[in-house]
Amino acid sequence: MLSFVGLGLYDEKDVSVRGLETIKDADLIFAEFYTSMLMGASPERLEEFYGKKVRLLSREDVEVSPEVWMSQAREKKVAFLVGGDPMISTTHLDLRLRALKMGIETRVVHSSSIVTAVSGLTGLQNYRFGRSTSIPYPYVAGGKRIVAQSPYDVVVENLGRDLHTLLFLDIQTDRYMTASEGAALLLEMETISGGDRLSSALGVGVARAGSDDANVLADWLPRLAEHEFGGPLHILVVPARLHFMEAEGLVALAGAPQEILEAAEP
């Protein structure tokens, strides 16, 4: 049996009772923290909480050669731990499909996810979100700085359909993209593309969702790009036109500019 166990948003206490029971009953426990991670709990702290050894997997272990460790689930109870909710990431769906093809029984133990937590933290309605996307760090190739344009294209497409956009921010070994960096990169993408949709658009940054010191701020994107949100992890939202309840929520919960109330839909 291979059980995909979501650990929630921030620390070791976010796991569900069912998830904790599954972990404690497992013969082997594996985890990956490159798609998402718990900033409030180290691997050592998780092991202390579970009372069991947790084997950390690399990207290659998960995406290139998962059969090496998954094959043990044919005869043993294996728990695979991930931050957030397990099946939000297509990487984990791929693993589950591979396991099924290997004849391995699977189950999913769900948990809280940033995808749903954003609505609760900001007041934005979940049904108003369109396609989500990720903002990667720029890189240098051939001596030229390369900035991905696809995140900007997704935001513009969603705005054209009057839908909000959830933007996941790059996680690397030695750095975590901030909401302000993400906002600045979106504006840079717009400059490169010659567009004019975002200079007057609203942005919402969320930092450390699920923690006691979560930081939520809504402002115009150019001002948001200068805001200091504190420690990771962060996520960014670019809202479309707001329903009046969403506008009231952003003002009350995220300190949004009062003028958004005037433009909100009744």
Q: Residue-wise over 80-98: b if at least 16 C-beta within 10 A, else e?
A: bbbbbbbbbbebbeebbee
Instruction: Tell how far CA 78 is from the center of its chain.
Output: 25
Where are the domain boundaries for CATH 3.30.950.10 in the chain?
115-263
Q: What is the rounded CA–CA span in Å between residue 41 and residue 53?
A: 15
Question: Could you tell me the pTM of the whole model?
Answer: 0.90
Residue 50 DSSP SS3 = helix
Where are the domain boundaries for CATH 3.40.1010.10 in the chain?
2-112
Q: How many residues does the chain have?
A: 266
Per-residue confidence (pLDDT) for residue 36, from 0 to 100? 87
Per-residue confidence (pLDDT) for residue 216, from 0 to 100? 98
Per-residue confidence (pLDDT) for residue 35, from 0 to 100? 86
For domain 115-263, give the CATH superfamily. Answer: Tetrapyrrole methylase, C-terminal domain (3.30.950.10)
Q: What is the pLDDT along the chain (266 residues), one digit of tens a residue?
A: 999 999 999 999 999 999 999 999 999 999 999 888 899 999 999 999 999 999 999 999 999 999 999 999 999 999 999 999 999 888 999 999 999 999 999 999 999 999 999 999 999 999 999 999 999 999 998 889 999 999 999 999 999 999 999 999 999 888 999 999 999 999 999 999 999 999 899 999 999 999 999 999 999 999 999 999 999 999 999 999 999 999 999 999 999 999 999 888 77
Per-residue confidence (pLDDT) for residue 100, from 0 to 100? 96
Per-residue confidence (pLDDT) for residue 223, from 0 to 100? 97
Q: Which two tokens stand for residue 5?
A: 């166990």
Among the CATH numbers 3.40.250.10, 2.60.40.10, 3.40.1010.10, 3.40.720.10, which is that of 2-112? Answer: 3.40.1010.10
